[in-house]
Chain A
């Protein structure tokens, strides 16, 4: 059982006890502990259940690469799933729960999956759950849903705040171990601006744990001095608890700072996302130890040798009283020696290498430790806890030579550089056969805008695993950065480390080498995703021989692992199954983030009111005060209708329509796009942009215009007014203003750049109010100031003047079929005009109306709506708008495309009105069915509904739709099945349901 020793632990303060809860139990640890070290110290080796088989699992690693000990941390609005216990600093009051079990960690019914393991092989999702079909709903789907996903999501809205931080700097150094500190120091001494970040909460990396001496002093002293020197430099920023999540194009880096992961830190953001632009990035990200693949290597108590050393030296925690070491390299002997010196028992060092010669094994031998060369572990014994190991010849098939009782196993399969960040943006790797790992190829770095590499690796991240090599590699990395940035070196001289020499490792991808199927089915490659040696071999056997395919088929290296622990071992097994060498198999793609980051940090401040800014018209506040139900239109909010006390939405809409048709209604039309196009060539320019002829429009007049893309499809519509000989005002749809402005600029700047035209988007400069209905003129005349008679301002004319003393431009245009004036007024005076209209019109029945009334009234008139009748595949000719397409023009955007054969096909669906036989309202988007079925066995269709409403004016349902050869088929009855299959019959009619002669708008 794991225990806290009576002494030791350089990171903990035994005088400060921290209370926390784990699975509802009160626990205690020390300041400086991580959740993992505190639990181990309390004898809690069982920390979770595995994903697929729900096998008992303990902590394996001592850093964020931990695959097993994933916890839900926090409560309620501060709950976060999948937190890695070794990377979660303990704090007073921390609450943690383990995952993947029910009803409890100790008694878990899902563990029955283990018994079913042979039915859950690689690709089991694809195989098992296909047939019989009826099993989906009641058997397979509930099973998959319950077992899919790690942890559970928080249920309350996040209580914390998060922020983004943007920064530019010369150099970012990622990793605050001795290599990173060295590179940062040398770059800073040369005068460069340096940001040094470290994911851990202390500086120094592994060197202090491993007893390295630098320049004749213990590593810790050198680290302290170096950090102090860096902190004193004005051109250096230092950040602990900050993890580089991803490297992107042109020196862009995202880093994740855990500022305040404790609930009592008032004011500070919980996490901060650093968005960094660096001229050069140094990745001094170290290396991660590899597990060894032997049977039952996942039993709690089996840990990485380096992690065992970390828990011992850093936290005074021993994973067991008797720890067997199993290794293929010299580094693991450091763990044996450290355990022995701490007074703990190391019954044997099981070394797969037949010859053992290094300085560290020699030291172990002199301490009296037993070394078993050429030996491997045949099988770990124990269920929830290691009870012993059965040993065998590494070169054999697993015949047991002896058994040793122990309660922990420290394994080391060698170390792999952390190449993730290097690889994110295209850095390439080379296979280092001597150290049996992939390492960055310095000649194929990710390249920046200047075409040169912008990422440099330093230390173990380069493959320079030993401290002495790591320091000289870091100095070389700093040199490369200085050269690239034309900087001369400062005074500081690179440090030197003193470490014993090490003999080469022997690659061991399976233990024992000739293990049979029984053993292979118990060798875990990926602890988190429950992928075993047998799974990868099966994937290869079934044809998933590409590394990317095998990954997806088996889920190897997915989820938070992302190839940290499982990668090389899995590749080696795949290579062996394929009969290839490892470099021929290659690696899977490394993708950001390196370690999961919080969703909150990605959102930053963009939540609530700041998620998307709302655009408000000058009348927004008035609407809000009048019971407006909002409809989002682009970033605007428009009143859908104004609800009165006790009134339903439909009733309100009908009231607004009937009142407008019989009295007078007011619409806030301020959101309509208003784009001024000005210059000697403005008319010529608009002739190219609109299907109509705009250059012939008379000053003082308005014309409805259609705008198409070069594909011929209708993209926007609106009324154009000619303000002067060289000035036009183009109205666009509410959602289209910015897009149409950009469209105009694009064509002006990139195609017709010699034309003398200026374009300005004045949408927000004006409030615009539509005064609509038979009493509209009466109302406006009461305000006084302009002659608005039919003769003075005819239909489709505009005039400048004053109304009630306010400067206005009045357009006589109508989107409802009624007598209608749209009045533009400087935005700041919009509310004044609106208030005057309401007070002057009280006895006329003046009443505001919303967008739904607007929509119904335009549909009653058969006017199209961009986005209803159009969907990006509809041309104006489909909508019977040929009258708005100039026949005289040689060219306009979309003209050539509209001549393509399928655009002129008489079989296209074209616009008609639809009237149900019963008077009911057709369902939105319903399709009209035709005889027979298509090639896919689906019912043929011959049309669809594009707009459908209840018309209070006509007291029945009205609709518009696109129908095959529609206008030729007036009077025919079509059948529209509803979602439940019941048919609705509707007759093809003219789309103009109301005032077909257009008399009412022209009075």
Chain B
């Protein structure tokens, strides 16, 4: 059972307090998008062995959505950050690099 720290209220929350929200930083494809782009948005997901960026909600706490950067193999948590960004902030990416030099996730490094 993971512990993730909610970046809004600061609570180090047990997984039972949280609701998972799948992969982070998807770009919404709306009307007008082509079928491939839309299928990619709706269905295709990363399945990394290692660094991953995920959405979580502090559902049984402050109710806020946030992001977590963690390792799917070791369960190391590199950091949590606000949901209102389209990609991981510099500080989070540096924290990942410090622990996993040369990491890659989608086109992020």
Task: Check A710 for interface membership: any CB of B closer than 8 A.
Answer: yes
**Are B38 and A746 closer than 8 Å at their CB atoms?**
no
On whether the beta carbons of A252 and B83 are closer than 8 Å, the reply is: no
A250-B1, A450-B76, A750-B21 known; 11 other A-B pairs, CB under 8 Å? A248-B1, A249-B75, A250-B3, A277-B3, A449-B2, A451-B74, A742-B57, A750-B65, A753-B83, A890-B30, A891-B30
Which 5 residue pairs of A and B lie closest in terms of their CB atoms, listed nearest first? A451-B76, A447-B74, A753-B84, A449-B77, A252-B1
B93 at interface by CB-CB < 8 Å = no
B47 contacts A by Cβ under 8 Å: no
CB distance from B10 to the nearest CB of A (A): 15
- B14-38: which have CB < 8 Å to A? 14-15, 19, 21, 28-33, 35, 38
Given the known interface contacts A447-B76, A448-B75, A891-B30, the answer about A746 and B65 at a Cβ–Cβ threshold of 8 Å is: yes
Q: Which listed residue (A277, A711, A751) contacts B28, Cβ 8 A?
A: A751
Interface residues on chain A, size class? 20 to 34
Answer whether residue B52 sits at the interface, using C-beta atoms and an 8 A cutoff.
Answer: no
Quick check: B31 and A890 within 8 Å, CB to CB? yes
Q: Mark B27-69, 1 if CB is under 8 A from A, else 0.
A: 0111111010010001000000000000101010001110000
Query: Using Cβ atoms and an 8 Å threshold, which residues of chain B touch A248?
Result: 1
Query: Is A221 engaged at the interface, CB distance under 8 Å to the other chain?
Result: no
CB-based contact B35/A449 at 8 Å: no
CA distance A447 to B77 in the complex (A): 10
Interface flag for B106 (CB, 8 Å): no
- B90 contacts the other chain (CB 8 A): no
Contact, CB under 8 Å: A451 / B42:
no
Q: Does B99 contact A749, Cβ atoms closer than 8 Å? A: no
Q: With the chains together, A225 CA to B16 CA distance in Å?
A: 41
Residues in A with CB closer than 8 Å to B64 are 749
Name the CB-closest residue of B to A898. B31
Q: How far is the CA of A451 from the CA of B78 in the complex (A)?
A: 9
**Interface contact tally, CB-CB below 8 A:** 72
A-B contact pairs, 17 of them (CB 8 A): A252-B1, A447-B75, A449-B2, A449-B75, A451-B71, A710-B28, A711-B42, A749-B64, A749-B83, A750-B65, A750-B83, A750-B84, A753-B83, A890-B30, A895-B31, A896-B30, A896-B31
Q: Do A895 and B42 contact each other (CB < 8 Å), given the known contacts A448-B75, A749-B84? A: no
The answer to whether B65 touches A749 (Cβ under 8 A) is yes
As a 0/1 sequence over residues 867 to 898 of chain A, the CB contacts with chain B under 8 angstroms (1 = contact) are: 00000000000000000000000110001110
The yes or no answer to A117 lying at the interface (CB within 8 A) is no
With both beta carbons as reference points, the residue of chain B lying nearest to A248 in the complex is identified as B1
A895 touching B55, Cβ below 8 Å: no
Interface set, chain B 69-109, CB cutoff 8 A to A: 71, 74-77, 83-84, 99
Partner of B76 from A449, A710, A746 at Cβ < 8 Å: A449
Contact assessment for A897 and B65 in the assembled complex, using a CB-CB cutoff below 8 Å = no
Of B2, B21, B30, the most chain A CB neighbours within 10 A belong to B30
B residues adjacent to A (C-beta < 8 A)? 1-3, 14-15, 19, 21, 28-33, 35, 38, 42, 55, 57, 59, 63-65, 71, 74-77, 83-84, 99
Q: How far is the CA of A750 from the CA of B55 in the complex (A)?
A: 9
Task: Tell which of A277, A749, A890 has the most Cβ of chain B within 10 Å.
Answer: A749
Chain A, range 196-250, C-beta contacts under 8 Å to B: 248-250
| B residues near A403, Cβ cutoff 8 Å | none
Interfacial chain B residues near A896, Cβ < 8 Å? 29-33, 38
A899 at interface, CB cutoff 8 A? yes
- Interfacial chain A residues near B31, Cβ < 8 Å: 890-891, 895-896, 899
Give Cα A450 to B74, complex, Å: 10
Q: Which residues of A contact B74 (CB under 8 A)?
A: 426, 447, 451
Whether the pair B42, A897 counts as a contact (CB closer than 8 A) is yes
Q: How far is the CB of A745 from chain B (nearest CB, A)?
A: 6
Whether A900 is near chain B, meaning CB under 8 Å from some CB there, is: yes
Which residue among A251, A451, A751 has the maximum number of chain B CB atoms within 10 Å of its CB? A451
Q: Is the CB of B38 within 8 A of A900?
A: yes
* Closest Cβ neighbor of B4 among chain A residues: A449
CB closest chain-B residue, reference A741: B63
Give chain B residues whose Cβ lies under 8 Å from the Cβ of A891. Answer: 30-31
A753 contacts across to B, CB distance below 8 A = 83-84
Distance A216 CA – B3 CA, assembled complex (angstroms): 46
Question: Across the two chains, which residue of chain B brings its CB closest to A254?
Answer: B1
Complex Cα distance, B1 from A252, in Å, reads 6
Q: How far is the CA of A448 from the CA of B76 in the complex (A)?
A: 6
A 441-482 binary contact with B (CB < 8 Å = 1; else 0): 000000111110000000000000000000000000000000
State A896–B63 Cα separation when bound (angstroms).
28
CB distance from A836 to the nearest CB of B (A): 37
CA distance A450 to B3 in the complex (A): 11
- Residue of chain B at shortest CB distance from A751: B28
| CB-based nearest A residue for B38 | A896
**Chain A residues positioned under 8 Å from B77 (CB to CB):** 449-450
Cα distance A248–B1 in the bound complex, in angstroms: 6
Contact string against B for A residues 316-338, beta-carbon threshold 8 Å, 1 for contact and 0 otherwise: 00000000000000000000000
